[in-house]
Structure 1
C-alpha cells in the first residue's frame, strides 16, 4: 500500500514541474526570441514481483511487474524558428535559420522533423544546428541569444534589452564611434553593419557576432532567453563565416517572436492540472484505507 503512496506522490511532483514549465512558456509568449521548454518525464525502473516459495522446493511464482512511479527527468528547449515580426526599427535584428546537416554514412541531408530532431536507425538522436547572436554578460562570459532587440548606450556600446554587450565577429563588444547611430546604418544578410558618407561611399562599421551551434542540446538556459555553453567543444560552436552560410540570414528591422504554440500550451496546462488532481485523489484514498486499517481493523 505504501508503494502506491510513493507512486502517486511522485506523479504529483512530476505534474507540478510540468505545470511550472508550461506556465513559464505562457509567461514568455511575447518575449522576443524565447524558445519553448518541454518537460521530459521518465518512469522509474519496473520491479519484478514474485511470490517466494518454500525452502525445500525453492519454487517462486512470478506475479508480474510493479511500476514504481514517474519523475521529471529534464527540460529540453525547442529551437524551432519563431515567426518574424517587422518592426521597422534599425536597431532590431532577427536570425532566419534553416540549416541542414548531411548524414556521414550516406552523404544525404538528414530529414529533421518539425522540432529539429532526427533519430537514426541505431537510436542516435541528432539535432539540427542553430544560429545565435553572441553576447557578453557583466562577468565577461560569452552567452548566446536569439533576442535581437538591441539598444545603444551613451558611450556607444551595443547592448541587448537585458543589458548584455553584443559581440562582433572577432568576439569583442561592438562600440560605435562618436556620432554614429544605428538609425542610419544598414545590415546585409551576413550581419555586416555599414553606412554611407557624404560622398556616397560605403563605410563598414562592424559585423554582428553570429555563432552556429552544431549541437544546441548542449546549451544550458541562463535566464531571459539567454543560453550558455558548459562545454563549448561539446556544443561544437563555430563563428559564422565572413562569406555567410547557406541557411542563416540576418534581417534588420525584424524581431523573432517566441516559438510557443499557445493552443498546445493551454492543453498541456490543463492536462497537468487534471493529472495532479488524479494523483491527489489516489493519495486521499490510500490515506483513508490506512486510517481504517489502523483505527478499525487493528482494534479487533
Structure 2
C-alpha cells in the first residue's frame, strides 16, 4: 500500500514543476525574444513482482509482472521557434529572423547570447556604444564592442539585413561604416544555459557558437530594423497545458486519498 502513496506523491511533485514552468511562460508572454518552455517527464524504476521464469518447470513466460514507482522531471526544454515581429519606434530595435543570436559581453567579461533586440546607444569612453538594456556591449563579427563617434546621429543610422551598419554620406547614400553586428547559431540551442535577463551561455550540450559571418551555417539569419521579436508563447496552448497539469495533479492526490482509505479499512479489520 505504501508503494502507491510514494508513486502518487512523485506525480504530484512532477506536475507541480510543470505548473511552475507554464506559469513562467505566461509571465513572460510579453517579454521580447522569450522562448517557451515545456516540462518533460520520465518514469522511475520498476519493481519486479514476478519474473519471467517462475513456473515449476522453469518455462519461459511471455511477460513479467512489473509495477512502476512513479515519475520525475527529465528536462525542461526550450522551443526556439520564430516569434512574431512587432513594429517599434526605436531606431536601435532589431528583430532576428532566423536561428541567430546576438552576442554581448557581460560584467565579468564573458560572452553571453540573446534574442532580445531591444538595444540602446549607451555612453562610452570613446563615443557611443550599442548595448543591451543592461548595459552589456553588443559585439561585432570580430568580437569587439560596436562603438561610434558622437558625430553620428543615431536617427540616421541604418543596418542592412546582414547586420552591416550604414550612415548616409553628403549625397544621402548609405555608406558602410565597417562595422557589422555579429550573429551566432548553435547546434543545439535547447542546451544553452539560461542565466536570466533573456541571456544564455554556451554549454557542452549546446555546442560552440557558430559565426554566421565566418562559419558555414545551413541558413543565415536576417535583421529587421525597427522591429522586435515577440515571445513565441501561445496563451491558448499554455492554458490547455495548465488544465492538463492541474487534472493530473488532482488524480495523483486522489490516488493518495484512495490509498489512505484502503489502509484505514485494513487497520479497522477485526478477527
Report the TM-score, using the length of structure 2 for normalisation: 0.87
Change (3 A) 1:289 1:190: same
What's the secondary structure of 1:166's corresponding residue? coil
1:69-103 Cα offsets, whole Å, 9 max, x none, are: 11111011101011111113211001111xxxxxx
Residue of structure 1 in register with 2:134 after alignment: 162
What's the secondary structure of 2:95's corresponding residue? strand
Match of 1:131 among 63, 84, 100: 100
Residue of structure 1 in register with 2:90 after alignment: 89
Q: Are 2:207 and 1:235 equivalent residues in the alignment?
A: yes
Structure 2's unaligned 5+ residue stretches are: none
Change (3 A) 1:152 1:287: same
Structure 1's unaligned 5+ residue stretches are: 98-129
Change (3 A) 1:91 1:244: farther
1:196-235 correspondence runs (5 A):
196-198=168-170, 200=172, 202-204=175-177, 206-231=179-204, 235=207
Residue of structure 1 in register with 2:71 after alignment: 70
Match of 1:248 among 209, 221, 244: 221
Between 43-52 and 191-200, the greater mean CA deviation after superposition: 43-52
Residue of structure 1 in register with 2:49 after alignment: 49
Residue of structure 2 in register with 1:40 after alignment: 40
Quote the Cα distance in structure 1 between the aligned partners of 2:13 and 2:105: 36
Are the counterparts in 2 of residues 190 and 242 from structure 1 also a CA contact under 8 Å?
no
Change (3 A) 1:226 1:243: closer
Residue of structure 1 in register with 2:253 after alignment: 280
What's the secondary structure of 2:224's corresponding residue? strand
Using the TM superposition, give the Cα deviation of residue 59 of structure 1 relative to its aligned residue in structure 2, in angstroms: 8.7
1:198-222 Cα offsets, whole Å, 9 max, x none, are: 4546251621121122332331212
1:174-193 correspondence runs (5 A):
174-193=146-165
CA RMSD in angstroms, aligned pairs only: 2.9
Change (3 A) 1:53 1:236: closer
Are the counterparts in 2 of residues 11 and 279 from structure 1 also a CA contact under 8 Å?
yes
Using the TM superposition, give the Cα deviation of residue 271 of structure 1 relative to its aligned residue in structure 2, in angstroms: 0.9
Using the TM superposition, give the Cα deviation of residue 167 of structure 1 relative to its aligned residue in structure 2, in angstroms: 1.0
Report the TM-score, using the length of structure 1 for normalisation: 0.79
1:117-165 Cα offsets, whole Å, 9 max, x none, are: xxxxxxxxxxxxx311111111111111110000122332222123322
Quote the Cα distance in structure 2 between the aligned partners of 1:58 and 1:200: 91
1:45-89 Cα offsets, whole Å, 9 max, x none, are: 4333218999x9779987622122111110111010111111132
Quote the Cα distance in structure 2 between the aligned partners of 1:166 and 1:91: 12
Report the count of equivalent residues: 265
Using the TM superposition, give the Cα deviation of residue 226 of structure 1 relative to its aligned residue in structure 2, in angstroms: 1.5
Change (3 A) 1:179 1:243: farther
Change (3 A) 1:193 1:53: closer
Quote the Cα distance in structure 1 between the aligned partners of 2:75 and 2:181: 33
Using the TM superposition, give the Cα deviation of residue 291 of structure 1 relative to its aligned residue in structure 2, in angstroms: 3.2
